Amino acid sequence: MILTPTRHADPRMAEIADKVERGERLTLEDGVYLYQSDDILTLGQLANLANMRKNGNKVYFIENMSLYFTNVCEAHCAFCSFRRDADAEGAYTLSAEEMIAYVDQHIHPEVREFHIVGGHNPNVPFQYYVDSLKALKERYPQVTLKAYTAAEIDFFTRISGLSIKEVLTTLVDAGLESLTGGGAEILSDEYRKKMRVDKAGVDRYLEVHRTAHQLGIKTHTTMLYGSIETHEDRIRHLIKVRELQDETNGFLVFIPLSMQPKSPKAGIKRRNSAYEDLKTIAISRLMLDNIQHIKAYFINIGTQLTQMALTFGASDAHGTIVKERISHAAGALTPEGLTRDELIWLIQGAGRIPVERDTFYNEIKVYEPKSNKK
């Protein structure tokens, strides 16, 4: 990789480039500088180099469905438009039978994963959440259950009186196979106080994932960026994730989530710029040297920017989803889901090789690179 022009123009960027090329770990100061730099092309080149070393030209996707059993939630996070009070208009809590009826209407034989998240509903017992998974696993034994965030697991400990380990083992017995990454937001106590994130704190979020990893459960993790946090807050978040991965090696993928405004009619000044989204994906790839995959989440950044992100360090284009609700409740303007053919087209259009995967990144099918045919 040759970055000679940048090395002459910006000695600090050249120093970071040398580190990346040597495979050395970046520091907090390095990460903050990358955010401050306007040399996004060099940043993209470096992130692409780091990704190519790990994944080559392959970009992964999965046939999955997002499921939401309830939107009733006791938390009042400032950024959330999905949650409802139990007596509010639009509030719902589905029975297992109602969810199965919904899935039966939308599922097709290639679906490999249910992505299950929802509100922290204190009006139903922990057993409700257990039985929901059990019913799905009995009805669709071939589909992997990737269910609940670390914040939900923490909530379950409070309503059940069980420990984190006991909650997780109970859920595993019901069919749980992986945890989702949500609930991280920004791993800063100050941020969580200001944004009214009245759910699992920083240490608790990390402890849930640590415990899951110790039990052999591979998990996902996220960062919700674009509100009041500083660039340093974001880099400290990445370092906390990196440190836990050093300890457990249990994270499969990191997903940067671009904050959505509360109204779909919000102007562009209320949204993260494409520039900031690409920077965050690239910096995530460079800081998280011990996590195999960085996801470009088309739900939040759009399909075309997702395609660009595949040359800025991302190696995962997410999945078909079918019908996403949380980001769209908060004003996302993107598709609620994509078909397999659309994902393949998107990946091939970036000059990459589409790879259909399962939840654990086992390869199901490798597709041909894009041909010159229309």
Bind-site residues for [4Fe-4S] cluster: 73, 77, 80
Q: Token digits for 32?
A: 């903050």
Q: How many CA atoms lie within 13 A of 50 on its CB side?
A: 33
> How many of the other CB atoms lie within 10 Å of CB of 29?
12
- Asked whether 136 and 173 are in contact (CB, 8 A), the reply is no
- Summarize the annotated binding site as residue ranges: 73, 77, 80
The candidate with the shortest Cα–Cα distance to 79, out of 212, 232, 222, is 222
CB within 8 A of 324, min separation 6: which ones?
Answer: 66, 299, 332, 336, 337
- Asked whether 235 and 24 are in contact (CB, 8 A), the reply is no
- Please state the separation of Cα 297 from the chain's center in Å: 7
Q: How far apart are CA 43 and CA 40, in angstroms?
A: 5
Q: How far apart are CA 285 and CA 290, in angstroms?
A: 9
Torsion, Cα of 77, 79, 82, 87 (10° steps) = 50
